Chain A
C-alpha cells in the first residue's frame, strides 16, 4: 500500500507510515522487554525468599492466613476510629493553619502581638515531637481533673494532632502566599483594592492552588499519624492489632493494620502525583502569566 504525502503547507498532521510503523514496533518491544524483566525479577526474588531456611517461621509469624482472617474484621472496625479522628482533625487543621499563616503576613504594628504569638506557636509545635504533644495533653490534662473539661483520650489525642499539624500546614500556606509574585499584589493595589481585598481575591486563591500538592502530602502523613493516638489507649486500629498480637504472639495483625493504611494512602499518593503533574502542565501552558 502506498500513500502520497499531503501537499507542503497542508493543515494536517502527517507522519511517514514507515516511520510510524517502526516507532510502534519499538514501543511494543520496549513494553515486552519491561514486562519480562519485571516478571523474571519477581520470580527470582520470591524463589530466593521462599527457599531460604528461615522463611516458614517468618511466614507463620507475620503472614499467617488464619490469624489474618481472624483479626482483619476487628481491625477494620477499629480503623473507623482512625477515620473519624482524621475527618475531624483535617478541617480544623486547614482552618487554623490558614488563620496562623495570614496572621504572620500582617504588617501593621498594631498586630505585632498577634504576629509574635503566631510565630511562637509555629516554632514551638514544629519543634516538639507529635507523640510528646499527645502524651502531654492526653495524660496531662485529664490529670488536672478540671470541671467541664473532657477526659476522653480520643478528644485529647485529636487535639494534639491538630495542634501539631496546624504548625506544619501553616508553614505550607505561608510558603504558598510567598510564592505569589509581588507584581500580582501591585496590580491589585493599583486598581484600588484594599490590602484585605487583595489577599482575598488575588493572593489567597493563587497561594492555595500552588500548595495543593504539599497539602495532600500532609494529609497522607496525618492519616498515618492517627495511629499515634493508640498510646492513650483508645481502641483504634494499631491498638486493636497490638491486643490481637499480644494474645497469640503472632504478628500478622500488625501486617493487617499496615495493609489497611496502605490501602488508603496509595490512592491518596497517586492522586497527589496526578494533581502535581496536571499543575506542572498548566504552569508550562501559562508561563506568560
Chain B
C-alpha cells in the first residue's frame, strides 16, 4: 500500500539551537491512527509543522500523497489534504462567528457560498454541534472551541488529520466526546498526546519521540 505520508531521515534545528529532530523516519498508511508521545520539547509539534510545510527540514525528504514535497507551493496540496488541528483552539478560530470559521477553509478552496452553507450544515449536524452555528467564537467554552476547531478542519474534507495534543485542557466529558468523534472518522491520523488512556483507546500504532528519533513505543523500555 502506498503510504499517505512518508518522512525519511528528517533533521531539524531551530536557528541557534541544538537539533530537535535527528533522523526521524515515519510512515502513515490509510485508516491508520498513529499516536506519537514524547516529553516536552521533544519536537513533536515541530514534526507536525514539518509535515504541512510550515517549517522546512534541514535534511531529509517528505513525501505526501504520492509526491515529493520540498517547496512552499508543493505544500498547498498537502495542507488541503492533511487537516491540522492546532494545540490552542484560540490560534485556529479567528473568525467572528462559528459559521464563518468553518466556511473559511472551503471558501479558500473556491467553493461557492451555497456549497459552503451545505458543508457547514452537514459538518455541524454530524458532530451534533448545530446549535453553535451562529455563536461568536470568542464566547465559546474551551470544549466547544476544541470541537469547532476540529469541525473547521473536517470542513475541508481532508484525507489525513494531524492533531496536536487534542485533549489539552479538556474535561473528562469533552474528552470522551472527542474520542467518540475521532473513532467514528474514516481519516488516517497522526495524533500527538501525553494522555496514556487516550492513546490506548485511539491508537492503532504508537511511537515515542526521544532524543530526536522516533521509535516504536515498546522499545521505550530499552531507551
A and B co-occur in one complex: no
Interface of B toward A, CB cutoff 8 Å: none
